């Protein structure tokens, strides 16, 4: 597409940024890429032939455990020892490289990327278009992975028929429920299990009953740090709307989040605050507040990914057995759908990696269980990770949306972690069944200036939750106009928004 930045301009921009704000982290060791990691001229293919057997190879990989993570450090030491035993010519350095959207570009331009790093699906356009991801199509085929990738993920990490990443984790947003609060309100079936709402009206009515029974406002919705816009996007889809419309003939995008469906979604959220009075008291917050409230049994419903409430356990001493999960509740406006926002992370090999290094990264990923090939080592890796999570009281047993679709892979992975399951899986069955059998409709996040759109929509969400007289239509009309002018029009013209 015409939106791909020229290499020269991209590097000038990121080098200028690097000069203004040097990264705080130290430069990785030489095997992490001491030379500047500029995009390869041929689109990112490794330039060298694979090394002869036994030739020394050095790679650096993300994933250094925290100093306080004793169990994680032991697992990593064992993994490194196994890697050395299987591939004695490969030296692996594990580095601390959490992906940061604010510092990635200057680090990439100045040679601070590890050979193997991890990022979010929402960053794929930026990383691939600017050449900071190696084309791994041939490797994916050689290792037999391509046909096993969940198609929903493969689409996110491919461009023009080439593959630039390997999915490592994924999620589809669903509805988290505090089952203890449902029970307190009598919202249970004949077996004593919670009955989850089936549409937005039922959700509101159940929230009122929970508030009456417990004294706590039952529904959570974030409003800042782009999370208000993130969750509002999910809400718009559930009411039958969309955010951006692509005109293939003219290769242009139009903001459409001021449609009637989007207005219905924002009006419903406003009603949750002013008509039903069931939205959390602290309005100006992000999902960190939800983690705390769930841990305290003071919130009953929120849109979240399947693993987010681990934060309630690790940061606020919450009890993971108090929670359950279902799919997103459809809007009750005659157009509603149960649609889950698709997200997650994928593995990327740095563009200056040699053919030998790229293959060694695949060897490492195979060993740690990131790939679909199941070996004794990968199954043990699944079990080890589950054991650590069990020891820490985290969620074990809910796989969510698997990166790999092979039924044998899914069943063997479940079997490996079964001894360490920490929750009643029946409480998650509406969500897990829909994810695994393909009945849950999934949408990837909006493709163009997604985070910028979320930021603009934060203000709309804040407005309806803090001002009883706020006009949803007027708010969304203004937001769509601003986003179109400041971002999409410039994108459509081939210019980049500043």
DSSP string, 191-241: TSPBPPPSSHHHHHHHHHHHHHHHSS--B----STTHHHHHHHHHHHHTT-
Query: What is the distance, to the nearest Å, from the Cα of residue 324 to the centroid of all Cα atoms in its chain?
Result: 20
d(CA 194, CA 183): 6
Sheet holding 301-304, edge to edge: 301-304, 174-178, 323-326
d(CA 11, CA 7): 6
d(CA 226, CA 231): 9
Sort strands 90-95 and 57-62 into parallel, antiparallel or unpaired: parallel
CATH architecture type of domain 174-338+436-492: 3-Layer(aba) Sandwich (3.40)
CATH architecture type of domain 7-164+343-368: 3-Layer(aba) Sandwich (3.40)
pTM: 0.77
pLDDT of residue 11: 33
- Structure-token match 């604010």, residue found: 102
pLDDT of residue 6: 36
Phi–psi pair at 346, nearest 5 degrees: -140, 160
d(CA 116, CA 365): 9
pLDDT of residue 52: 41
What token pair was written down for 56?
């020394």
CB-count exposure of residue 66 (10 Å: 0-12, 13-18, 19+) = exposed
Mean pLDDT in each 10-residue stretch from start to end of the chain (498 residues)? 38 34 30 34 39 79 92 91 95 94 88 94 87 97 93 90 93 94 97 95 98 98 96 97 95 97 98 98 96 97 89 93 96 95 92 97 92 87 91 89 84 95 95 86 88 95 98 98 96 75
pLDDT of residue 100: 86
How far from 233 is each of 145, 241, 334, CA to CA, in Å?
32, 9, 18
Check if 7-164+343-368 and 174-338+436-492 are the same fold: yes
pLDDT of residue 53: 59
d(CA 251, CA 492): 7
For the chain, domain boundaries: 7-164+343-368, 174-338+436-492
């Amino acid at each position: 597409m015409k939106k791909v930045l020229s290499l020269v301009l991209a590097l000038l921009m990121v080098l200028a940024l690097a000069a203004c704000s040097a990264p705080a982290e130290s430069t990785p060791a030489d095997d992490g890429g001491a030379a500047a990691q500029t995009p390869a001229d041929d689109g990112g293919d490794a330039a060298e032939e694979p090394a002869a057997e036994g030739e020394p190879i050095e790679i650096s990989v993300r994933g250094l455990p925290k100093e306080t993570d004793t169990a994680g450090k032991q697992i990593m030491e064992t993994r490194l020892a196994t890697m050395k035993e299987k591939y004695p010519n490969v030296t692996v350095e594990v580095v601390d490289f959490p992906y940061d959207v604010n510092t990635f570009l200057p680090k990439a331009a100045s040679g601070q990327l590890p050979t193997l790093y991890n990022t979010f699906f929402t960053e794929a356009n930026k990383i691939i278009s600017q050449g900071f991801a190696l084309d791994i199509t041939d490797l994916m085929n050689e290792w037999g992975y391509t046909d096993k990738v969940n198609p929903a993920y493969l689409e996110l990490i491919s461009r023009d028929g080439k593959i630039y990443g390997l999915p490592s984790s994924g999620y589809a947003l669903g509805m988290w429920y505090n089952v203890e609060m449902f029970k307190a309100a009598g919202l249970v079936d004949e077996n004593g299990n919670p009955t989850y709402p089936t549409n937005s009206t039922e959700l509101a009515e159940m929230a009122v009953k929970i508030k009456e029974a417990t004294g706590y406002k039952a529904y959570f919705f974030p409003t800042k740090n782009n999370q208000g816009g993130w969750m509002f996007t999910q809400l718009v889809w559930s009411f039958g709307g969309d955010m951006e419309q692509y005109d293939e003939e003219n290769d242009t995008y139009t903001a459409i989040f001021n449609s009637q469906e989007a207005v219905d979604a924002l009006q419903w959220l406003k009603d949750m605050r002013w008509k039903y009075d069931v939205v959390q008291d602290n309005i100006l917050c992000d999902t960190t507040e939800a983690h705390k409230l769930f841990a305290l049994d003071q919130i009953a419903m929120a849109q979240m990914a399947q693993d987010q409430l681990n934060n309630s356990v690790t940061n606020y001493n919450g009890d993971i057995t108090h929670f359950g999960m279902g799919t997103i509740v459809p809007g009750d406006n005659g157009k509603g759908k149960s649609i889950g926002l698709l997200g997650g992370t994928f593995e990327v090999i740095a563009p200056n990696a040699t053919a030998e290094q790229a293959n060694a990264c695949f060897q490492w990923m195979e060993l740690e269980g990131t790939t679909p090939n199941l070996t004794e080592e990968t199954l043990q890796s699944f079990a080890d990770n589950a054991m650590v999570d069990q020891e820490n009281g985290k969620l074990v047993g809910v796989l969510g949306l698997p990166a790999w679709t092979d039924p044998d892979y899914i069943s063997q992975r479940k079997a490996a972690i079964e001894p360490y399951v920490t929750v009643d899986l029946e409480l998650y069955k509406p969500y897990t069944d829909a994810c695994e059998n393909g009945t849950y409709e999934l949408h990837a996040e909006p493709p163009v200036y997604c985070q910028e759109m979320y930021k603009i929509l934060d203000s709309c969400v804040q407005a309806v939750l803090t001002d009883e007289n706020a006009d949803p239509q007027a708010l969304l009309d203004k937001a769509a106009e601003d986003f179109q002018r400041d971002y999409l029009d410039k994108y459509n013209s081939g210019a980049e928004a500043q």
